[in-house]
Amino acid sequence: MRTFGVEEEFLIVDPDSGVPLPLAGELLRLHDPGVQIDGDALRLPTLSAELQQEQLEVITRPHSSLEALAAEIRAGRTYADSLARMAGARIAALGTSPLAVTPHATRTERYDSLQEKFALTAREQLTCGLHVHVSVDSDEEGVAILDRSRSWLPTLTALSSNSPFWNGTDSGYASFRTQAWNRWSSAGPTEVFGSASAYHSLVADLAGTGVVNSPDFDARLSANHPTVEVRVADVCLDSRDAVLIAALVRALVETGAREWESGLQPDRVPAAILRQGAWRASRSGVHAELLHPLTHRPDTAGTVVAAFLNHVRDALDDAGDTDFVADSLARISSQGTGATRQRQAVKRGDRLADVVADAIDGTHQALAGHLQDLAAVAG
């Protein structure tokens, strides 16, 4: 069973005004990973700063089961929010801030360099994503998986879409985070690599340009772990959706590995076409047509999601994840994604601050039923 884990990026917000607050440094100071009770160290989540001080990243350990991953996602959100409360703030799972904000940069050598080099792109980059890591046996296997997964990634963007607002207005997109993120010079889909040596050669050539040190591909080999890292998802408002995306990514990775082992060649559709699929997913989420991953022609979101499920079903079956994934996809088909909920909140309250208040509730309210839902499916 491949292990998997997630990195969730959250906004730190004022619970009354909804405005993001530059408190990441304060929350990290409050975080004490060495705290002990009766001589036993607590297994606290890993927290990290991000590009802007209005963000906090929560990182899980690798897990083999959805149940264990769901439990740590729950613990991570609860723990991060407890730190935020100490500072008079809250944690909200929002891909972008609904209210206008001028971000405050995190001062490190790396982030200072990004701010200087990328100017307005970096200064405005206050976006929160969900990154999923899945274990691989080698770089060669990892690159083979990247080559065979790239056509399916836009569907994950659509299913996780949770960033309709930007700079105080409705952007018209379900995932405007995707649009903002793609302003980075190396962001987006890639061509087929064909081998690990070709992948590493391209990464080295990119570094040689003096523009980027680490590529922001939609999916890549992790520089620090023996994993494939998929980076196309918004942070999910509903924590159940975070578990769904993780399950789908693990199944996609396993499916790609099996295709490689069987000699099935990757789809060599140009990255320029894949970028159109990503744009459609960003624009409409699950509420309009997407590009079908097999034909690269417009089709209904329902048909595309069903095709994804069919593509990874064997891997889901072997992991015991099929029922949970199918039920979660049906829920999203009926209720929509975080972007849907955000737009519903502003219609009810007519203020963007109401969107943030509702998102604070949404970030945490589904957690209580997480394990029960998974246990019911497993049973």
- Give me the CATH number covering residue 161: 3.30.590.20
- Is residue 43 over pLDDT 80? no
> 160: closest CA among 20, 328, 296, 12?
328
pTM of the entire predicted model: 0.94
pLDDT digits (tens, 9 = 90+) for 316-328: 999 999 999 999 9
Return the pLDDT at 366: 56
Provide the percentage of residues in the chain whose pLDDT is more than 90.
Answer: 90
CA 80 to chain centre: 17
242, 10 in Cβ contact below 8 A?
A: no
Q: Is 331 exposed, middle or buried (0-12, 13-18, 19+ CB in 10 A)?
A: middle
- Is residue 291 over pLDDT 80? yes
Structure confidence at residue 373 as a pLDDT band (50, 70, 90): very low
- Is residue 40 over pLDDT 90? no
Return the pLDDT at 38: 55
Two structure tokens written together for 216: 């922001």
C-alpha separations of 181 from 61, 71, 116 in Å: 25, 29, 17
Structure confidence at residue 76 as a pLDDT band (50, 70, 90): very high
pLDDT digits (tens, 9 = 90+) for 189-220: 999 999 999 999 999 999 999 999 889 999 99
- Average pLDDT rounded to a whole number, residues 23-46: 77
d(CA 160, CA 244): 9
- Is residue 367 over pLDDT 80? no
Number of domain units in the chain:
1
pLDDT digits (tens, 9 = 90+) for 82-106: 999 999 999 999 999 999 999 999 9
Q: Whole domain around residue 8: which residue ranges?
A: 4-378
Averaged confidence pLDDT in the chain? 93
